[in-house]
Amino acid sequence: MTTPYVNHPRYGNLPIPSEFSFTADEIEKGHWRYSTLRYLSNTAIPADTSKQYFAIYPRSIYVDIEEQCELCGRLFLFYALEQKYWFEKLQFWIDAHCTRCITCRQKNQNVRKMQKCYQELMKKVIKTERETTQLKAVTLELYQLGYIKDTGKINHMS
């Protein structure tokens, strides 16, 4: 029986074994935080520290880390390959850590997009019929999600 990890659209829901072989000691020396986390040692891959943005201590190894989402409570993997992308391509600060599963991260991104859309449409003095319809839909969705609490904003849209 496998652990029911949240499915990641790019990496799946199972650990990704690597072709490299690192000892637990090497992995735990790979970053100061690894000794306090549940990681899967057969997934470790080497890091390119020259591509990382870090303050004091880079990650010399990435390894799949088992996490529990702070929002939904489900188990997910913070994949070594995902970390490599975060820290070497996107240049995230090296001590950043993934605390939400991909599903909750995507929901959060969608809410931010809706909030931005809402703000941009509210700024417009004159709206097209399409924009008015879109504003009503976004306002209702944000209200149902609990981001808009003032029912007057909903009633105003009617």
Query: For residues 137 and 139, what is the distance between their CA atoms, to the nearest angstrom?
Result: 6
CA distance readout (Å), 20 to 1, 5, 23, 36, 45: 25, 23, 10, 22, 6
Query: For residues 151 and 149, what is the distance between their CA atoms, to the nearest angstrom?
Result: 6
Contact call for residues 147 and 153 (beta carbons, < 8 A): no
Tokens of residue 134, six digits? 């879109």
Lowest mean pLDDT among 2-6, 22-26, 70-74: 2-6
Cα pseudo-dihedral 115, 119, 122, 124, rounded to 10: -130
**pLDDT the model gives residue 157:** 65
Mean pLDDT in residue range 30-49: 95
The pLDDT > 90 percentage for the chain reads: 78
**pLDDT the model gives residue 4:** 84
Query: For residues 17 and 104, what is the distance between their CA atoms, to the nearest angstrom?
Result: 25
- pLDDT tens-digit profile of 53-85? 877 889 999 999 999 999 999 999 999 999 999
Tell me the whole-structure pTM to 2 decimals: 0.79
